[in-house]
Amino acid sequence: MAWALLAVSGTVAGCVDVADERAQFDGSVGSARAEAASVRVDDGLAAIRGFEIDARGGGRLELWAQAPALAVTLEPGGTDVWTIQARNVMDGIELRGEGPSGARLAITEVARPIPTETTWQVQTGAAGPVRLFLVPPDLSGEGPWSVAVFADVQRCIDHVQDIYDGINAQDDNIRFALISGDLTPNGTPESLDRFQRELRTLDVPAYATLGNHELGSGQFNFHRRYGRGSFSFVHRGARFTLLDSASATVAPTADRWLDGWLDDGADALHLFITHIPPLDPDGTRNGGFASRAEGHRLVAKLARHGVDMTIYGHVHTFESFRNAGIKAYVSGGGGAIPQRLDGIGRHFLVLTVTPGEESFSVRKVRVFPEFL
């Protein structure tokens, strides 16, 4: 028995070490250098897909957004003209900029090939640093608005368009989607790139954390394309926190970040999303953290800070329950092999935020064909 306990302890410790390597990598997301130029995205809320000075002396910055609004510090390094390409952004997003003295920068939109991708040309004046702000069109909007949530696409990446068509067809003013992991079957660069290509037909941006299937062929393939595994942002009075639990644990570094995000979100609606449920909701699939003690600690922490809702993936079904009094859902119906006997196939959730109300409303939307 003592040997068995030591073996389990070693396994958990190994998971924590690996998870903390990813958290350390999270800390590098959103920063880059090219010759004398540098860039930093506040809170690391975008992956930098490209940053360079081209042969003609112009600068190029390509971002993959992980939040509706971004703030960026660009040190142009003597380069006056920059092309800024932003992917995974809201339709109608604006780019605004300020020079070192606070003067507005000259910015021209040059391309918007799809609703979630825009390119601008920016005159920086060469002397920096400058501040750039990506501003979504509805920051001051009124009335209800919604978010789509799904997870566990895995083997059904060939059919994920069914989900996107369903989201695009909703009349709930969906502003963005949230993905709680397992985008791909094995996390290879090729499968992650394929997932991005399929996303081009979704009319809204999709902000994702990773799942255990993204670890199949390299720790950081997801991060290099889509950004941080653990991050938090606010949109129109509601906070959204996505946490990396792909190794069935939370890294100590990410846990410290979570403390700050929970404090910051104490007075707002707060939705918490992670891939693996801290505690298995029904005991049928061992779908929880490697350590039940850690799972209990996390749920208790969320409850103490007044989190309004938690959503998980990993278990390929739909579950509605409560953990420590918090309304909770499992939504793992993106297309992975469904949990047997429950009859619940592919689906996504629509969460609606109504200003002035202190809760989210949720409905499940089935996707047909439900079983593939």
- Cβ–Cβ under 8 Å, residues 154 and 185: yes
- Cβ–Cβ under 8 Å, residues 269 and 241: no
Considering the domain 31-135 in this protein, what is its CATH number? 2.60.40
Cβ neighbours of residue 61 closer than 8 Å, sequence gap 6 or more: 39, 48, 50, 51, 74, 82, 83, 84, 85
pLDDT one-digit tens code per residue, 258-276: 999 999 999 999 999 999 9
Q: Return the closest-CA partner of residue 304 out of 328, 324, 274, 277.
A: 324
How many contiguous H segments (helices) and E segments (strands) does the chain have? 6, 21
Gap between the Cα atoms of 85 and 62, Å rounded: 5
What topology does CATH give the domain 145-366? Purple Acid Phosphatase; chain A, domain 2 (3.60.21)
Predicted confidence at residue 94, as pLDDT, reads 98
Predicted confidence at residue 55, as pLDDT, reads 85
Whether the upstream peptide bond of residue 369 has omega within 30° of 0, thus cis, is yes
Predicted confidence at residue 9, as pLDDT, reads 41
**231-235 and 81-87: which strand pairing?**
unpaired
Burial class (CB in 10 A: 0-12, 13-18, 19+), 343: exposed
Domain boundaries, the chain: 31-135, 145-366
What tokens does 88 get?
Answer: 């995974």
- Cβ–Cβ under 8 Å, residues 217 and 210: no
pLDDT one-digit tens code per residue, 91-127: 999 999 999 888 899 999 999 999 999 999 999 986 7
pLDDT one-digit tens code per residue, 166-203: 999 999 899 999 999 999 999 999 999 999 999 999 99
Average pLDDT of the chain? 93
Per-residue confidence band for 2, with pLDDT thresholds at 50, 70 and 90: very low
Where b means 16+ CB within 10 Å and e means fewer, 73-91 reads ebbbbebebbbbbbbbbbb
pLDDT one-digit tens code per residue, 289-335: 999 999 999 999 999 999 999 999 999 999 999 999 999 999 999 99
Predicted confidence at residue 127, as pLDDT, reads 74
- Cβ–Cβ under 8 Å, residues 158 and 129: no
Alpha helices in 57-119 (DSSP H): none
Predicted confidence at residue 13, as pLDDT, reads 58
- In 3-state terms the chain splits into helix, strand, coil percentages (rounded to 5) of 25, 35, 40
Q: Return the closest-CA partner of residue 244 out of 44, 48, 69, 87.
A: 44
- Cβ–Cβ under 8 Å, residues 270 and 239: yes
pLDDT one-digit tens code per residue, 30-61: 999 999 999 999 999 999 999 999 988 899 99
Quick count: other Cβ atoms within 10 Å of Cβ 309?
18
The helix/strand/coil state of 360 is strand
Where b means 16+ CB within 10 Å and e means fewer, 194-209 reads bbbebbeebebbbbbb
Gap between the Cα atoms of 286 and 364, Å rounded: 24
The helix/strand/coil state of 25 is helix
